[in-house]
Chains A and B, each alone.
Chain A
Amino acid sequence: MTLAWLIAIPLGGAVLAWLAGGFAGPWPRLIALAALALDLALALSLCWNHPLSLALPGNDSWLMRLDLPWIPRFGISLLLAVDGLSLILVLLTLVLGLVSVAASWTEIRARVGFFHFNLLATLAGVIGVFLALDLFLFFFFWEVMLIPMYFLIGIWGHENRVYSTLKFFIFTQASGLLMLLSIVALALVHQRQSGVLSFSYFDLLGTSLAPDSALLLMLGFFLAFAVKLPMVPFHTWLPDAHTDAPSAGSVILAGVLLKSGAYGLLRFITPLFPEAAAQFTPVVMALAVIGILYGGLVAFAQSDFKRLVAYTSISHMGFVLLGVFAWNELALQGVVVQIIAHGLSTGALFIIAGALQERLHTRELARMGGGIWSLAPRLSAVGLFFALASLGLPGLANFIGEFLVLAGAYQTSAGVTAVAAAGLVVAAIYALWLVQQAFHGVAPQGLALADLDAREMTVLGVMIGLVVWLGVNPQPVLNLAAPALDGLQQLANI
């Protein structure tokens, strides 16, 4: 039941926060913090309660499983399970959830209760995505997480929010539809073979498919995940959505929602369709490398802080895609680290962008005029730190992710990896350009700017700590993920 509670606590918190919105005071924020902290404690207890299965290689990689009937007539059940991979992602979701509640403490002043309802509902949906192993249930949560996100951007967003939310919604919804078609088709094929209609991941794993239909079904899944990731050329919703989202929305979007795409790629594509995925690998790896370089180059030209960071996300997610399709231990571990590192570093950059916007009422780098360092040294130093994390400085988390991905990808395709390494140069160009434009230079006359206060410093300090810790000691995460990734690789070898 713990798994159900993991989803139920944020949902309950969401409803409570909405109700508390009617009272004066920071009740919705406190309720949201409490719910997420409780959930985080629950998730952490899972880590500690299962040290044995984590340590034993070759053991079943699932830590816990919950199977309740839902719509038995169609073979649909409430099948939740958690392994190291899911657990890491759930932890990341909850940490970033806490961060985004704290980051929107002063930014969000309108309809506070409803804001936190949407925030927590999205998080509950995402956690559901990470835990659900019934494909129908997975799709259900996949949709559940979108709608509150739609409101988060649409109600509390910036200037162009109507356009952005619509774009976000159409992209994700259309691609989700393709996935639904694939899910249903896969279940039907499985039924024709085994006589049992089931949407369970475990039942569908061994389904044998004709090569053509396998490729088609895989594409259905792949497109849904690729749009979410996002992969070039399906990335254009992301900069718009990020630019117009409130800080918390951006943090959740970059830190968690994109990761649901990465998670889907890891969990479903290769295990369900090993041959089709292998056949498709060269195309995807090429697209991944294009994404790494293209995202970086476009980021360099942006004049909007958040838009720039959004394009860096696309570049970073290219590494994730590269790693997933390289499909060996190094690369997959790299993907996991990269997912966490990107969630933290990009999330922090969005918080900084939000802090700047709150103070200066603009996101345009040109209008910031630079020179912020002399006015707000803490803010600038933190910004510099996360820009450096973003460019993959060794000793910080992103480097571990990128290095492992490249090391794994090198074993699959040396040429592609060499081109991807050029992404490091591009990353240096855009990250330093961002620092130069935002923080360096001479401050305009008469510009007054408050430095980060204690609340912001705490949030960002925790994130800095995590990024450094992961950069010099990634082993706990690697150990946690190892059995799960091992299990996935064995599935794909059947």
Chain B
Amino acid sequence: MIYDALWLVPLLPLIGFVCLTLLGGWLSRRAMAVLGVGSVALATALAFTIGYTFLTRPPATGHCTEVIGSWLAVGNLHVRFGLYLDALALVMMLVVTGVGLLIHLYSATFMAADSGYRRYFAYLNLFVASMLMLVLADNLLLLYLGWEMVGLCSYLLIGHDYADPVNGRAARKAFVVTRIGDAALLVGLLLLLAHWGTLQIQPLLGLAAQGWANGSALATVAAALLLTGAVGKSAQLPLQVWLPDAMAGPTPVSALIHAATMVTAGVYLIARLHTLFELAPAVQHAVAALGALTLLLASCSALLQRDIKRILAYSTISQIGYMFLALGVGAYAAALFHLMTHACFKAVLFLSAGVVINALDEEHDIYHMGGLGRQLPGTSLAFLTGAASLAALPLVSAGFYSKGLILAQTWNAPGMGVWLWTGGILGTLLTAIYIFRAFFVAFLGRPKSHARCGATAAEAVALVVLAALSVTAGFVEIPAGLGGGVQAFTGLVASALPPGPQPAHTGNLPALLELIASLTAVAGVLTAYYFFRYRPPAATAAGAHPITAAVGRLWQSGWGFDWAYERLFVRPLVMFTRANRHDAVDALFTGIAAGSRALHRGLSRTQTGRVRWYAAGIACGSFILIALMVLP
């Protein structure tokens, strides 16, 4: 069976990593690229073959398991290197390998001038291997291994250009902030292990569903800990601060790790362990609320960024907010669907931005661009496709279908569904405004700089494929309201994930909701056109008022989270450690030493060398001794 070759999927990129690391010194740059891209290409081919098999001849139970070997066995704890493939893992695997391959291809020429070419491909291969390990793991410890390894690769790749301390700082920030979540995740794992005695995901979920009452305290704690892990990795409130800074890394890295795959690991984690979250309704509500809040806050911040990559970074945070919103209301398939389309359109946005930045000699500021549409028509078209999909322009974009699914199911969610839906709609408006602001400012209008070069062939291939996907990927799931009723995606993942909230009302409501969403998106684009293309002074005037200027500064700084964390945590910590550099505990022992030295100095002063003085000392001593003996 082809499923038996599943273990090769993560192994091939790993082999690429090992070869690049060990043999690197003897390889030409061309060989490095072949090795780096080739290993991922083989893995991708294999993954798609497996995917095809899965679609045509699905396994009887809807999933298949493959055990490579044992990792460790202590007492009751048995952990193995086991892979588990179901529809959820399959979708993730295809996204990771597919987008991963295209970005590898893009990097082959994009990074050609970089001195750390081998290091770059080694890390990128390691990332793909780890990410595949994360999504295919059949137990939580192996998942945690992948989870940490992708974090490591993120760190290494953000800091790829190590000469600049700013990159190093951003990389460390990313790693440490996510590690806060990781530590919570590990404690969650320990909790699950202590209570159910296993880390195998499927048996564990079965045991928990039977053993824990709905809403029980332990289940809530466990889910909250897992959520913290997911929040850290997926850059949601309140741990979202690392992602905008992570844009210090090379642009393909931002596309692959910080948009398409790694940051969605949190979404995957929650979807994978949805049983646990359903046992803890409070936490699940928190997921939805966090998602809604994050998507709004991040959209506002994206509105005012000037750096094109930071716009996209905030947009990523916001779009993952949508996914969390969907997860929180139980629309797992919708979240996964958006994850998939988002991977495509965000990748194309980043990659085309990368071409632009490269063409303009590392220019990130959209206000220093302009008129790129004529200079780089292909790239601009790719960016436009991605932007349309991000803004969820009706009918012609993948984002429309995935976001529409999320919004529709959010409306149907019991409880605060309507409020969450309102947040989502507001987010749609903001999304359309900020992304088209970027498009209008950077790609239309008067050219302000000269584009040095366009996309190379390899880059173009990646852009074309991804742009095509950002348009077409949505057609696998066409809502009933549009008359299509295609449900290929939800049908596929139904074997792994429960269906989302079902509509309480029928009739015209779904169609009406679709219409509202579509109109909102269009309205957003028009707003952006008015302020940034038709009458730019209006935008300037709106920003000039003291109140809006203050709000703008707040939004631009990401709502001041960095500012607050810097003062609340970073500086006190640094001050404490600086103050304690010489280890206060040592003062105890040096104190004892200093005390005995002082005593020594005091007593040595009595050694005057006068014999009679000594004699007097003896006399005094005997006087005191006799006094002690005689006096009661």
> What residues make up the interface of A, taking CB atoms closer than 8 Å to B?
167, 232-233, 235-236, 239, 294, 297-298, 300-303, 329-330, 333, 371, 373-374, 381, 388, 393-395, 399-400, 403-404, 406-407, 410-411, 414, 417-418, 421-422, 424-425, 428-429, 432-433, 436, 439-442, 472-475, 478, 482
Cα distance A235–B583 when bound, in Å?
Answer: 10
Identify 10 new A-B residue pairs, CB closer than 8 A, beyond the known A330-B77, A393-B152, A422-B183.
Answer: A297-B576, A333-B74, A395-B145, A407-B193, A414-B191, A414-B194, A424-B186, A441-B162, A473-B71, A475-B70
Question: Does A404 contact B175, Cβ atoms closer than 8 Å?
Answer: no
Closest 5 A/B residue pairs (Cβ) = A301-B577, A394-B145, A440-B162, A236-B586, A410-B190
Residues from chain B with a CB closer than 8 A to the CB of A400 are 72
Q: Using a CB-CB cutoff of 8 Å, which residues 68-106 of chain B contact chain A?
A: 70-75, 77
Residues from chain A with a CB closer than 8 A to the CB of B577 are 297-298, 300-301
Residues from chain B with a CB closer than 8 A to the CB of A298 are 577, 580-581, 583
Q: Say which residue of A381, A388, A432, A478 sits within 8 Å of B176 (CB atoms).
A: A432
Cα distance A422–B577 when bound, in Å?
Answer: 16
For residue B17, CB closer than 8 A to chain A, the reply is no
Question: Does A436 contact B168, Cβ atoms closer than 8 Å?
Answer: yes
* Dominant SS among interface residues on chain B: helix
For residue B353, CB closer than 8 A to chain A, the reply is no
Residues from chain B with a CB closer than 8 A to the CB of A482 are 74
Least Cβ–Cβ distance between A82 and chain B, in angstroms? 22
Least Cβ–Cβ distance between B307 and chain A, in angstroms? 23
Cα distance A400–B581 when bound, in Å?
Answer: 30
Question: Does A404 contact B183, Cβ atoms closer than 8 Å?
Answer: no
Q: Using a CB-CB cutoff of 8 Å, which residues 180-209 of chain B contact chain A?
A: 180, 182-184, 186-187, 190-191, 193-194
Given A301-B577, A421-B183 in contact, is the A239-B583 Cβ separation under 8 Å? yes
Question: Does A411 contact B589, Cβ atoms closer than 8 Å?
Answer: no
Question: Does B194 contact A407, Cβ atoms closer than 8 Å?
Answer: yes
Question: Does A436 contact B163, Cβ atoms closer than 8 Å?
Answer: no
Question: Does B194 contact A421, Cβ atoms closer than 8 Å?
Answer: no
For B, the interface residue count at a CB cutoff of 8 angstroms equals 46
Q: Say which residue of A233, A374, A424 sits within 8 Å of B182 (CB atoms).
A: A424
* A440 to chain B: closest residue by CB: B162
Residues from chain B with a CB closer than 8 A to the CB of A411 are 194
Residues from chain B with a CB closer than 8 A to the CB of A441 are 162-163, 165, 168
Question: Does A428 contact B179, Cβ atoms closer than 8 Å?
Answer: yes
Given A297-B580, A300-B577 in contact, is the A404-B172 Cβ separation under 8 Å? no
Cα distance A410–B184 when bound, in Å?
Answer: 13
Question: Does B190 contact A374, Cβ atoms closer than 8 Å?
Answer: no
For residue B573, CB closer than 8 A to chain A, the reply is yes
Cα distance A394–B193 when bound, in Å?
Answer: 17
* Dominant SS among interface residues on chain A: helix
Residues from chain A with a CB closer than 8 A to the CB of B117 are none
Question: Does B190 contact A407, Cβ atoms closer than 8 Å?
Answer: yes
Question: Does A433 contact B172, Cβ atoms closer than 8 Å?
Answer: yes
Given A432-B155, A440-B159 in contact, is the A301-B581 Cβ separation under 8 Å? yes
* B181 to chain A: closest residue by CB: A425
Report 25 cross-chain contacts, Cβ distance below 8 Å, ordered by A residue.
A167-B589, A236-B585, A236-B588, A297-B577, A297-B580, A298-B580, A301-B580, A330-B75, A373-B162, A394-B144, A399-B148, A403-B141, A404-B74, A424-B182, A428-B175, A429-B172, A432-B172, A436-B165, A440-B163, A441-B162, A441-B165, A442-B163, A474-B71, A478-B73, A482-B74
- Could you give, for residues 558-593 of chain B, a 1 whenever the CB lies within 8 Å of some chain A CB and a 0 otherwise? 000000000000000100111011010110110000
Question: Does B172 contact A436, Cβ atoms closer than 8 Å?
Answer: yes
For residue B407, CB closer than 8 A to chain A, the reply is no
Cα distance A114–B517 when bound, in Å?
Answer: 83
- Could you give, for residues 325-345 of chain B, a 1 whenever the CB lies within 8 Å of some chain A CB and a 0 otherwise? 000000000000000000000
Least Cβ–Cβ distance between B551 and chain A, in angstroms? 33
Least Cβ–Cβ distance between A344 and chain B, in angstroms? 17
Residues from chain A with a CB closer than 8 A to the CB of B583 are 236, 239, 298
For residue B288, CB closer than 8 A to chain A, the reply is no
For residue B311, CB closer than 8 A to chain A, the reply is no
Question: Does B148 contact A371, Cβ atoms closer than 8 Å?
Answer: no
Cα distance A232–B187 when bound, in Å?
Answer: 24
Question: Does B183 contact A330, Cβ atoms closer than 8 Å?
Answer: no
Cα distance A403–B199 when bound, in Å?
Answer: 13
Given A236-B585, A410-B194, A475-B72 in contact, is the A418-B145 Cβ separation under 8 Å? no
Given A436-B168, A441-B162 in contact, is the A421-B71 Cβ separation under 8 Å? no
Given A394-B145, A475-B70 in contact, is the A425-B176 Cβ separation under 8 Å? yes
Residues from chain A with a CB closer than 8 A to the CB of B72 are 400, 404, 474-475, 478
Least Cβ–Cβ distance between A45 and chain B, in angstroms? 26
Cα distance A381–B577 when bound, in Å?
Answer: 27
Question: Does A440 contact B168, Cβ atoms closer than 8 Å?
Answer: yes
Q: Using a CB-CB cutoff of 8 Å, which residues 424-446 of chain B contact chain A?
A: none
Question: Does B183 contact A302, Cβ atoms closer than 8 Å?
Answer: no
Least Cβ–Cβ distance between A172 and chain B, in angstroms? 13
Question: Does B578 contact A301, Cβ atoms closer than 8 Å?
Answer: yes
For residue B287, CB closer than 8 A to chain A, the reply is no
Given A374-B163, A394-B149 in contact, is the A425-B180 Cβ separation under 8 Å? yes
* A299 to chain B: closest residue by CB: B577
Cα distance A371–B581 when bound, in Å?
Answer: 24
Residues from chain A with a CB closer than 8 A to the CB of B175 are 428, 432
Question: Does B176 contact A421, Cβ atoms closer than 8 Å?
Answer: no
Question: Does B162 contact A439, Cβ atoms closer than 8 Å?
Answer: yes
Question: Does A371 contact B163, Cβ atoms closer than 8 Å?
Answer: yes
* B72 to chain A: closest residue by CB: A474
Question: Does B179 contact A393, Cβ atoms closer than 8 Å?
Answer: no
Question: Does B168 contact A478, Cβ atoms closer than 8 Å?
Answer: no
Least Cβ–Cβ distance between B262 and chain A, in angstroms? 15
Least Cβ–Cβ distance between B313 and chain A, in angstroms? 21
Q: Which of A167, A301, A429 has the most CB of B within 10 A?
A: A301
Cα distance A21–B543 when bound, in Å?
Answer: 81
Question: Does B183 contact A424, Cβ atoms closer than 8 Å?
Answer: yes
Cα distance A257–B53 when bound, in Å?
Answer: 57
Least Cβ–Cβ distance between B237 and chain A, in angstroms? 19
Residues from chain A with a CB closer than 8 A to the CB of B578 are 301
Given A440-B165, A441-B162 in contact, is the A428-B176 Cβ separation under 8 Å? yes
Q: Using a CB-CB cutoff of 8 Å, which residues 30-75 of chain B contact chain A?
A: 70-75
Cα distance A300–B576 when bound, in Å?
Answer: 11
Cα distance A59–B445 when bound, in Å?
Answer: 84
Given A407-B193, A424-B183 in contact, is the A394-B148 Cβ separation under 8 Å? yes
Residues from chain A with a CB closer than 8 A to the CB of B172 are 429, 432-433, 436
Residues from chain A with a CB closer than 8 A to the CB of B182 are 424
Question: Does B74 contact A330, Cβ atoms closer than 8 Å?
Answer: yes
Question: Does B585 contact A233, Cβ atoms closer than 8 Å?
Answer: yes
Residues from chain A with a CB closer than 8 A to the CB of B180 are 425
Cα distance A442–B167 when bound, in Å?
Answer: 12
Question: Does B186 contact A329, Cβ atoms closer than 8 Å?
Answer: no
Question: Does A388 contact B187, Cβ atoms closer than 8 Å?
Answer: no
Residues from chain A with a CB closer than 8 A to the CB of B74 are 329-330, 333, 404, 478, 482
Least Cβ–Cβ distance between B392 and chain A, in angstroms? 37
Least Cβ–Cβ distance between B154 and chain A, in angstroms? 12
Question: Does A329 contact B163, Cβ atoms closer than 8 Å?
Answer: no
Residues from chain A with a CB closer than 8 A to the CB of B588 are 233, 236
Q: Using a CB-CB cutoff of 8 Å, which residues 261-310 of chain B contact chain A?
A: none
Cα distance A407–B75 when bound, in Å?
Answer: 12
Least Cβ–Cβ distance between B180 and chain A, in angstroms? 5
Question: Does A235 contact B187, Cβ atoms closer than 8 Å?
Answer: no
Cα distance A388–B130 when bound, in Å?
Answer: 16
Residues from chain A with a CB closer than 8 A to the CB of B589 are 167, 236
Cα distance A233–B591 when bound, in Å?
Answer: 14
Least Cβ–Cβ distance between A322 and chain B, in angstroms? 13
Residues from chain A with a CB closer than 8 A to the CB of B163 are 371, 374, 440-442
* A329 to chain B: closest residue by CB: B75
Residues from chain B with a CB closer than 8 A to the CB of A421 are 183-184, 186-187, 190
Cα distance A253–B463 when bound, in Å?
Answer: 56
Cα distance A407–B141 when bound, in Å?
Answer: 12
Least Cβ–Cβ distance between A186 and chain B, in angstroms? 28
